[in-house]
Amino acid sequence: MASEPVNVKEFQELAKNVLPKMYYDFYTGGAEDQYTLKQNVEAFQRITIRPRILLDVSRIDMSTTVLGYKISAPIMVAPTGMHQFAHPEGEVATARAAAACNTIMVLSYSSNCSVEEVASSCNAVRFFQLYVFKRRDISAQIVQRAEKSGFKAIVLTVDTPRLGRREADIKNKMVVPRLKNFEGLSSIAVDSNGGSALESYANETLDSSLRWEDIGWLRSITSLPILIKGVLTHEDARMAVEAGVSGIVVSNHGARQLDYTPATISVLEEVVHAVEGKVPVLFDGGVRRGTDVFKALALGAQAILVGRPVIYGLAAKGEYGVRRVLEMLKYELELTMALSGCPQLQDITRDHVRTEHERLRSML
């Protein structure tokens, strides 16, 4: 009998053993050369922690709030699509695990389960991820359904005017799955020209003309707060604040869109400085350890979102696997805080980390 995983990374190997190649490649793959995919994880390894000693860490408090909603730790579930490729219960199982861990799940617009199914699966705070379709009426309908179903915020993903070139999906002739949210609204019948049907579907349906002005349109159809996901520069961070968003998610889409963009952890501080505390900054990309969470918090993130590891946990062990992934990250963060002399999240400061640039500069 295989031993129980002792860290998040070990769930990936379990997932690989149970998933069909097409689905495993879909979840794990990045764009083109996958340079950014590697950097998202490896950039964390170039940041070191500066622990402080002889401080009372007998009680560690990891709780925080996001948009006023309290969660047990600053670790949320990122929007990732098509959970039924990983497990028959799909997003419903993920939602239950997130609720059991007292955290927020961001439901992907490309979920296999409908917003109503996820909403009725358990009582919890959830956000909804939105892509804007060329047919704005479809986007408006799904936003209004999410709001009616009790979702608490809209996470507008803005880095996908077209789908990135994911070569594994092209080779595998990736299919378009059943998306319950759009049944009767959008056909999945597309001409893939022998490649990825998912890419063809996305490029036919997503609105590549989306502009900053359209955030006003979104605000006009919902009373929910709007977070913008896909910010990587200080210029766009300032534009987002000016547009009146309620929060920013620093993200390069899990390195699945434009290759050779920077690792998200390397630009987090740039975005945080640009925002000047006017809205919360969340972080997405490459988190595999509690030490990664600690580093992101030290660089200014209010909370982090975790994507692929959740999918690996779901594929390997269903709802229990997702719960274990989140619990592992929480335990590792708690331990890191204790060993760094930080009994509360507000005790984690910029002085607790040293970037590679700072290390090299100190050697001059």
Catalytic site positions: 253
357 is in an annotated binding site: no
d(CA 284, CA 232): 11
Give all strands (DSSP E) within 67-215, no chain letters: 69-71, 75-77, 105-107, 126-130, 154-157
- Phi and psi torsions of 164, nearest 5°: -60, 160
Closest among 255, 214, 212 to 232, alpha carbons compared: 255
Instruction: Tell me the sheet residues that pair with 296.
Output: none
108 is in an annotated binding site: yes
Name the 3-class secondary structure at 129. Answer: strand
Compute the radius of gyration of the chain from its Cα atoms: 20
81 is in an annotated binding site: yes
284 is in an annotated binding site: yes
Cα(first)–Cα(last) distance of the chain, in Å? 53
From the CB of residue 35, how many other CB atoms can be counted at a distance below 10 Å?
15
How, if at all, do strands 69-71 and 64-66 pair? antiparallel
Q: What is the DSSP string of 294-347?
A: HHHHHTT-SEEEE-HHHHHHHHHHHHHHHHHHHHHHHHHHHHHHHHHT-SBGGG
286 is in an annotated binding site: yes
247 is in an annotated binding site: no
277 is in an annotated binding site: no
Side chain identity, residue 48: T
Q: Count of H helices and E strands in the chain?
A: 14, 12
80 is in an annotated binding site: yes
208 is in an annotated binding site: no
79 is in an annotated binding site: yes
Closest among 242, 239, 251 to 281, alpha carbons compared: 251
307 is in an annotated binding site: yes
229 is in an annotated binding site: yes
Closest among 218, 226, 168 to 196, alpha carbons compared: 168
256 is in an annotated binding site: yes
* Annotated binding residues for glyoxylate: 131, 166, 253, 256
Numbered residues of the known binding site for FMN: 79-81, 108, 129, 157, 229, 251, 284-288, 307-308
Q: Known binding site: residues?
A: 79-81, 108, 129, 131, 157, 166, 229, 251, 253, 256, 284-288, 307-308
